[in-house]
Amino acid sequence: MANQIAIGAVEPGCKKVDPILVASNVTRQFGGLTAVNVEHLEIPRGQITALIGPNGAGKTTLFNLLTGFDKPNTGEWTFEGKNLAGVSSYKVARMGMIRTFQLTKALSLLTVIDNMRLGSQDQPGEGFLRSWLRPAWRHREAVITEKADGLLKRFKLDAKREDYAAALSGGQRKLLEMARALMSDPKLVMLDEPMAGVNPALTQSLLEHIKDLKSNGTTVLFVEHDMHMVRHISDWVIVMAEGKVVAEGPPAEVMKNPAVIDAYLGAHANTDLGEVEIGSAKEGN
């Protein structure tokens, strides 16, 4: 399986057969702290890639950088061959790279269906000049609404259609955010901890939805702490620790990698933090 995805040896930063997203030398510093320092990273197209790592590994920061929500100190990255460095977040989204947030951002005082409609990107009525000419956007609105209803049904939110998003439970908001992200038929969906706070009954259906995405040809990149889920649905796993990519590969192999065990069990669990050097983690490899 690894050979179908990667070219050559499977190692951190290895080349992929068909990458959709390629990032090089992406660094982000917060004061003296280097939150992200990724030398090279490629995300395979049409696959489900998991991004794992301990808290503070820089996963969410990397998400923010790649989607234009934060500016890196150095680095460049391309999405489908188009340069994305310095492109603002809404343009990134329009190119077909849609993200969700770790702290769910449901638009509380909009109804569920309006949340969904907002996810669509080519509604001419969203332009000021055409907004008060109802005939200019009525037809498109009907198409959008039909699509939204279809997605709501798939995510079992159709009963909540007219409710305010604020009235949904935490798990339902996660579902809504994911469904909303799918309104524009993105090429790459980036899910930041889609399972956090979702009850086990919903987890199963969320997993199914993510697998469905893959079968529809959408590339998925997700951050997750739940190893069971990672093992269950991902085709490829990238492990980050201390801002760097420390390992990647197919899930079964990555889980055995000492660097990963280090990162998760905590290489420095018994070390005085004052004396830690980044090199010491590498010695374990």
Partner 1 sequence: MDWLNTLNLTFGELIGVYTAAYVLAALGLAVHFGFTGLLNFGQAAFAALGAYGYSIATLSFHWPWWAAVLAGLGASGIFGLLLGIPTLRLRADYLAIVTIAAAQALRYAFSASAYTDVTGGSNGLSEFGDSFYKLNPIPKGRYELGFTSMSENEIFIRLVGWGLVILGAFFLFFLTRSPWGRVLKGIREDEDAVRSLGKNVFAYKMQALVIGGVFASFGGMIFVMSSQTNQPSTWGTNFTFMIWTILLLGGAATILGPIVGGMTFFALLMFTQSIMEGLVNMGWLPFLDIAQVGQIRFLLVGLVLMLLVIFRPQGMFGNKKELQFNG
Our finding on whether 93 is near partner 1 (CB under 8 A) is: yes
Tell me the residue ranges of DSSP E strands in 45-102.
Answer: 48-52, 74-79, 82-83, 97-99
Residue 237's φ and ψ, nearest 5 degrees, are -125, 130
| DSSP H helices in 155-271 | 170-181, 200-215, 227-233, 251-254, 258-265
Residue 5's φ and ψ, nearest 5 degrees, are -100, -50
Site string for partner 1, 153-182 (x = CB under 8 A): -----------x-xx---------x--xx-
Q: In the structure encoding, which two tokens stand for residue 82, read together?
A: 């188009």
Residue among 5, 98, 148, 237 that touches partner 1 (CB under 8 A): 98
Smallest gap from Cβ 88 to partner 1, in A, equals: 8
Site string for partner 1, 214-233 (x = CB under 8 A): --------------------
Site string for partner 1, 73-92 (x = CB under 8 A): ----------------xxx-
Smallest gap from Cβ 241 to partner 1, in A, equals: 27
Our finding on whether 28 is near partner 1 (CB under 8 A) is: no
Residue among 121, 145, 203, 205 that touches partner 1 (CB under 8 A): 121
Residue among 118, 207, 227, 261 that touches partner 1 (CB under 8 A): 118
Q: Are 225 and 52 in contact (CB under 8 A)?
A: yes
Helix (H, G, I), strand (E, B) or coil at 28: strand
For 164, which DSSP code?
Answer: B
Our finding on whether 119 is near partner 1 (CB under 8 A) is: yes
Q: In the structure encoding, which two tokens stand for residue 81, read together?
A: 């061959």
Our finding on whether 59 is near partner 1 (CB under 8 A) is: no
Smallest gap from Cβ 215 to partner 1, in A, equals: 24
Our finding on whether 70 is near partner 1 (CB under 8 A) is: no
**By CB under 8 A, how many residues form the interface with partner 1?**
40
Region 175-214 residues binding partner 1, contact defined as CB under 8 A: 177, 180-181, 183-184
* Radius of gyration for the alpha carbons in the chain, expressed in angstroms and rounded: 20
Tell me the residue ranges of DSSP E strands in the chain.
Answer: 19-30, 33-44, 48-52, 74-79, 82-83, 97-99, 188-192, 219-223, 236-241, 244-249
Smallest gap from Cβ 133 to partner 1, in A, equals: 9
- What are the CA-CA distances from residue 121 to residues 20, 116, 156, 198 (Å)? 21, 11, 23, 28
Smallest gap from Cβ 117 to partner 1, in A, equals: 7
- What are the CA-CA distances from residue 79 to residues 61, 62, 71, 82, 219 (Å)? 18, 14, 16, 5, 12
Helix (H, G, I), strand (E, B) or coil at 193: coil
- Closer residue to partner 1 in complex, CB, 192/262: 192
Our finding on whether 109 is near partner 1 (CB under 8 A) is: yes
Instruction: List residues binding partner 1 (CB under 8 A).
Output: 67, 69, 89-91, 93-94, 98-101, 105-110, 114, 117-119, 121, 123, 125-128, 131-132, 134, 137, 141, 164, 166-167, 177, 180-181, 183-184
